[in-house]
Amino acid sequence: MAMNFITLLSIFLWLCSVDSWGPPWHYERYHVCSSPVCQQRARLIRSYMNPYVDPCEDFYSYACGGWLRRAKIPEKKSSHGSFNILNEELMKVLRGLLERITVGEGTQNVLGKLALTYNACLKVPITPDRHDALSEIMNISGFADWPISSTSVSDVMQMNHYADVLLKVGMGALLRYDVTRDSKNTTAHVIQLDQMTFPFVGRNQLINPEDKHSKPIIAAYKILVETTMKYMAPSISQSELTAIANTLVSFEGKLANLTATPEERRDVLSIYYRTTISSLQKICKNFPILGVLNKEFIKGDIVLTEDETIEVHALKYYKRLAQLLEKTKPVTLFNFIGLRVMFTWAPHASKSIRDAFFELNKAKTGIQERQPRWEKCTSLMNKAMKEITGYLYVKEKFTPEAKREVEDLVVRLKEVFQESLQQNRWMDKTTKAKALLKLRKMVAKIAYPSWGLNLEFLEGLYNYVPQLDPNSAFLTMWHHIAANNGKKKLEKLRQSYQSELEWITGAALVNAFYNSNSNEMVYPSGILQSVFYQYGLPRSVNFGGIGAIVGHEMTHGFDDQGSQFNHDGRLEHWWSNLTRARFNKKAECFKRQYGRIYVRELNMTLNGENTVGENIADNGGIRLAFKAYHKLLTQECDDVDTRLHGIEYLSGRKLFFIAHAMVWCNLSRKKHLKHIIQYDPHSPSRFRINIPFKNSKAFARVFGCRPHSAMHWHPKNRCTLW
């Protein structure tokens, strides 16, 4: 009798042990969900899967194979997948909401301004070019005589030094600045200076314009440059247009060469330089830093002095930039900065420039059709007035159940992360205590801010947008909104930092974020939808969907970059040297692991350095979410899971992994995939599933993968951090 009791107890402990994940679970007990929501999800899962693929050989093809076989990339898109599908649905909802707004007579409220601007945007392709509106903006920006050619008459042609140009037209594209939370004094804001970016043509293409992949992109880019100049100065000869375009693209290539690579910028502490304007001025001689910054900040009624504290994240760039500009003709500098200003505004005024931009995007990504105008305009408004579109979206689509369930997920994942940290053997006690404090202090912002439905508050966010003339050009309205947003950003410099007032995103967005300098996770309403989350589904499905996304963002707080910020979001060394060295060794495992992946169809390998933070988060997120689900199942459900009607053969644990894979089912055009591998800090979708699952002992046990199967890596080949 005693022996039988001991045997039964042993079996029970084996079933409930964290180390016992995976089949065979003999005597499995389960409920079946046959509600409409569950039946719908079961049909969706069946349609996504390819049951003829062995999940232990290629789980991505097993979970997504059916979808991949039927899916087609829309001609207007460079890729197609779960994120795209959900984003398209969100855009359709916003479109309906924008079109329902009625603009009455009299004073316009912020909703009226949003609707007027959206409607004006829709009319752009069917109305004549607005050269007049574009010229007015160029005049305001200091570019009345742009572009300068051999026949131009301009005071710029009399300038002898680049500083004269910068003081005339401002920083333009050369000095990227922001007003952000102070990395050291976290109750305040500070000016942050960084290196320039290259949103139109990638850094690699500019540096290597003769590369086989770069040539067609650079050729399309030069046509865009020529088209843009021709629009403002139709009398310039074609030969001179070509010569100026070659000069400007060559100059941009030199600028690209000054910038650090994404890999070099991953160590935030190593590139961080806190100083004052006067001190930076001494380092970058002849560069009128105070003058050009004041030219920007006067728009926010702020006058800076030499004693102003600034954070520089690209000191080498500024030193090199000053040297390059000494060798650059003022006319070239003027034309380049003016070109960047034109790229911001001209597509909203000129059909020929819109056409040239489309041809460039075609060369870069392989798209074949333009985005529908309603979709373009909806997207523009959702970026420029994100709080207002978020207000509309939340009122229409938000469900309190979603917020409560994600709040519960955050608590559960924090619990298992805390347990993992407490059991951690490679961290010293002091560092571990600080890590636990950071986890405890980590804030989760879910769905929308507390002020998100307060129209009076929202009016104040756009109080610098004047009453809009319904007959004015879209470009004019758009410029008013951009000026408002720019002034609001500048004003923050003299305001204290208040976490609840600062959301890095609007509510109507299909994405999630971790903000390292405030130690907070953000899950907007837009991502709290199927396929990530759906009320009424078994917990396994939601834990595998939104739960793993929660875990992903949580892990970002402890990846190679997030780990350089403490519990308050302060940038500092809070690790002991020994523990940091151990951390780096574990991170190095991911760099090597992903850096060895060869993508045959492109003849390229993944960039393990640039993607290491996202790869750590992918692996950590799935581990945390599964631990949380396993703990819920064993401790609160007596190991009785809930399955979906029609696919009862899939246990809750299997559904967890399938649900997560469905999030990343994706098709990409070759050109776009090449761009992802070159620039994106995320790995391509297939590897965001297969590699974390190969690193997971739990996955191999759940699916009964035999040793030596493709998805069952030997423990010594697995990488784990959190």
Task: Give the mean model confidence (pLDDT) for residues 4-27.
Answer: 37
State the pTM of this model: 0.92
Task: Give the mean model confidence (pLDDT) for residues 110-134.
Answer: 97
pLDDT at residue 3, as a whole number: 40
Question: How far is the CA of 310 from the CAs of 278, 285, 687, in angstroms?
Answer: 10, 17, 39
Query: Mean pLDDT for the chain?
Result: 94
Please determine, for residue 170, whether its predicted confidence score (pLDDT) is greater than 70.
Answer: yes
What stretches of 398-545 show up as alpha helix (H) in DSSP? Answer: 400-423, 429-441, 455-461, 474-491, 539-542
Question: How far is the CA of 470 from the CAs of 51, 208, 375, 520, in angstroms?
Answer: 57, 46, 21, 40
Q: 36-42: which pairs have CB atoms within 8 A and are 24 or more residues apart?
A: 37/534, 37/535, 37/536, 37/537, 38/536, 38/537, 38/538, 38/644, 38/645, 39/644, 39/645, 39/646, 41/530, 41/534, 41/537, 41/541, 41/644, 42/644, 42/645, 42/646, 42/647
pLDDT at residue 27, as a whole number: 44
| Alpha-carbon span 374 to 380, nearest angstrom | 10
Task: Give the mean model confidence (pLDDT) for residues 287-297.
Answer: 95
Tens digits of per-residue pLDDT, 581-605? Answer: 999 999 999 999 999 999 999 999 9
Cis peptide, bond prior to residue 692, ω within 30 of zero: no
Sheet (strand 443-447) strand order: 443-447, 520-524, 513-515
pLDDT at residue 104, as a whole number: 80
Quickly count: other Cβ atoms within 10 Å of residue 658's Cβ: 22
Task: Give the mean model confidence (pLDDT) for residues 49-73.
Answer: 97
| Alpha-carbon span 467 to 304, nearest angstrom | 31
Contact yes or no for 657/48 (Cβ under 8 A): no
Please determine, for residue 242, whether its predicted confidence score (pLDDT) is greater than 50.
Answer: yes
| Alpha-carbon span 217 to 212, nearest angstrom | 10
| Alpha-carbon span 602 to 325, nearest angstrom | 38
Q: Is 158 exposed, middle or buried (0-12, 13-18, 19+ CB in 10 A)?
A: exposed
The SS3 call for residue 460 is: helix
Please determine, for residue 5, whether its predicted confidence score (pLDDT) is greater than 90.
Answer: no
- Confidence band, pLDDT 50/70/90 cuts, at residue 573: very high
Residue with tokens 């009345």: 144
Closest CA to 131 of 242, 234, 223: 234
Tens digits of per-residue pLDDT, 416-429? Answer: 999 999 999 999 99
Tokens of 13: 């402990």
Please determine, for residue 580, whether its predicted confidence score (pLDDT) is greater than 80.
Answer: yes
Please determine, for residue 26, whether its predicted confidence score (pLDDT) is greater than 80.
Answer: no
| Alpha-carbon span 317 to 624, nearest angstrom | 39
Cis peptide, bond prior to residue 531, ω within 30 of zero: yes
Task: Give the mean model confidence (pLDDT) for residues 331-358.
Answer: 97
- Confidence band, pLDDT 50/70/90 cuts, at residue 641: very high
Please determine, for residue 303, whether its predicted confidence score (pLDDT) is greater than 60.
Answer: yes
pLDDT at residue 171, as a whole number: 81
| Alpha-carbon span 699 to 691, nearest angstrom | 11
Considering Cα of 335, then 340, then 343, then 345, what sign does the dihedral take? negative
What are phi and psi for residue 25, nearest 5 degrees? Answer: -95, 95
Percent of the chain residues past pLDDT 70, beyond the cut: 96
pLDDT at residue 16, as a whole number: 35
| Alpha-carbon span 297 to 291, nearest angstrom | 10
- Confidence band, pLDDT 50/70/90 cuts, at residue 662: very high
Task: Give the mean model confidence (pLDDT) for residues 505-529.
Answer: 96
Quickly count: other Cβ atoms within 10 Å of residue 716's Cβ: 5
- Confidence band, pLDDT 50/70/90 cuts, at residue 22: very low
| DSSP secondary structure string for all residues of 332-368 | HHHHHHHHHHHHHHGGGT-HHHHHHHHHHHHHHH---
Amino acid at 349: A
Question: How far is the CA of 330 from the CAs of 149, 334, 521, 656, in angstroms?
Answer: 12, 6, 45, 60
pLDDT at residue 17, as a whole number: 30
DSSP H or E segment with residue 179: strand 176-181
Q: Domains, the chain, ranges and CATH?
A: 59-91+399-451+508-717 (3.40.390.10), 143-348 (1.10.1380.10)
Higher-pLDDT residue of 8 and 142 is 142
**Helix/strand number for the chain, H first, E second:** 30, 13
Tokens of 321: 């930039």
The CA-based diameter of the chain, rounded to the nearest angstrom, is 105
Considering only CA atoms, give the Rg of the chain: 27
Among 141-155, 415-429, 583-597, 609-623, which is the least confidently predicted range?
141-155
Contact yes or no for 213/674 (Cβ under 8 A): yes
Tens digits of per-residue pLDDT, 432-466? Answer: 999 999 999 999 999 999 999 999 999 999 999 99
Percent of the chain residues past pLDDT 90, beyond the cut: 91
Tens digits of per-residue pLDDT, 309-319? Answer: 999 999 999 99
Tens digits of per-residue pLDDT, 179-238? Answer: 999 999 999 999 999 999 999 999 999 999 999 999 999 999 999 999 999 999 999 999
pLDDT at residue 28, as a whole number: 74
Tens digits of per-residue pLDDT, 378-387? Answer: 999 999 999 9
pLDDT at residue 411, as a whole number: 97
Contact yes or no for 387/485 (Cβ under 8 A): no
Task: Give the mean model confidence (pLDDT) for residues 103-110.
Answer: 88
Task: Give the mean model confidence (pLDDT) for residues 74-82.
Answer: 95
Please determine, for residue 157, whether its predicted confidence score (pLDDT) is greater than 70.
Answer: yes
| DSSP secondary structure string for all residues of 40-86 | HHHHHHHHH--TTS-TTT-HHHHHHHHHHHH----TT-SEEEHHHHH
Question: How far is the CA of 122 from the CAs of 48, 133, 134, 255, 374, in angstroms?
Answer: 36, 17, 18, 36, 6
Tokens of 19: 């180390």
pLDDT at residue 394, as a whole number: 97
- Confidence band, pLDDT 50/70/90 cuts, at residue 107: confident
- Confidence band, pLDDT 50/70/90 cuts, at residue 347: very high
Tens digits of per-residue pLDDT, 197-207? Answer: 999 999 999 99
| Alpha-carbon span 149 to 397, nearest angstrom | 54
